Amino acid sequence: AQRVTQPEKLLSVFKGAPVELKCNYSYSGSPELFWYVQYSRQRLQLLLRHISRESIKGFTADLNKGETSFHLKKPFAQEEDSAMYYCALTNTGGFKTIFGAGTRLFVKA
Amino acid sequence: DVKVTQSSRYLVKRTGEKVFLECVQDMDHENMFWYRQDPGLGLRLIYFSYDVKMKEKGDIPEGYSVSREKKERFSLILESASTNQTSMYLCASRFTGTGGEAFFGQGTRLTVV
């Protein structure tokens, strides 16, 4: 069965501090992993996807198949990063996408 | 530049009513999804569809049904609304295949009284 686990419901850091949002998954095939973000009063939107290996707004995430993890990292948090972050997994073939419970990131001035 | 549109932003319905939530996308996506979003539980998949008239149960389908008569439209139906179905409902769509992102609607906040 597919499962995505985000162990932290809330993460609070100071501006300029490093931040890491954890995501672990369970899936027997070859998954696609994504991070989505929801800013206040906005739609849920894609932040980044593992196959692109890109850095978006200073965030990066590496897929670790051995540890079945896809943690989101940023070296220096900004106040505008405060939002709800969801880790998502799409199954092989791309039909079904499930999400974790989400982590609310709060960056303090 | 709206791509996924949900018919209502807010709805208030009475217990036992039949409720229809509509979603339309203009990107010709094969896959469409309905999730409910609850604090602490994240997004939970109710149903998804990978083609016209095709549907699959997600993780929490009980009390819901769906309809996809046209590629661009995916409807969520609450056969007999109950108070525990009070939630934010999100519709999404994406292409089949590698790397495709899901595009979300603005959400429908449903309150069942």
What's the pLDDT tens digit per position in A26-39?
Answer: 998 888 999 999 99
The percentage of residues in chain A with a pLDDT greater than 90, rounded to a whole number, is: 73
A96 vs B: CB within 8 A? yes
Tell me what pLDDT residue B96 has. Answer: 83
Q: Which residues of chain B have pLDDT under 70?
A: 1-2
- Using CA atoms, how far apart are residues A63 and A80, in angstroms rounded to an integer? 25
Tell me what pLDDT residue B1 has. Answer: 66
For an interface test with A, give the residue of B33, B43, B48, B96 to mutate (most A CBs within 10 A).
B43
Q: Do A101 and B98 touch (CB under 8 A)?
A: no
More confident residue, A94 or B95: B95
Q: In degrees rounded to 5, what are phi and psi of residue A79?
A: -60, -35
Tell me what pLDDT residue A94 has. Answer: 73
Binned at pLDDT 50, 70 and 90, residue A103 comes out as very high
Tell me what pLDDT residue B2 has. Answer: 61
Closest-CA distance, B94 to chain A, in angstroms, reads 9
Q: What is the pLDDT of residues B3-21, one digit of tens each?
A: 999 999 999 999 999 999 9
Identity (one letter) of the amino acid at A38? Q
Q: Do B48 and A52 touch (CB under 8 A)?
A: no
B42 vs A: CB within 8 A? yes
- Using CA atoms, how far apart are residues A6 and A9, in angstroms rounded to an integer? 7
Closest-CA distance, B55 to chain A, in angstroms, reads 11
- Using CA atoms, how far apart are residues A89 and A53, in angstroms rounded to an integer? 16
Q: Do A102 and B92 touch (CB under 8 A)?
A: no
B107 vs A: CB within 8 A? yes
Query: Helix or strand or coil: residue B83?
Result: helix
Q: What is the pLDDT of residues A1-32, one digit of tens each?
A: 789 999 999 999 999 999 999 999 999 888 89
Averaged pLDDT of chain A: 93
- Using CA atoms, how far apart are residues A13 and A106, in angstroms rounded to an integer? 6
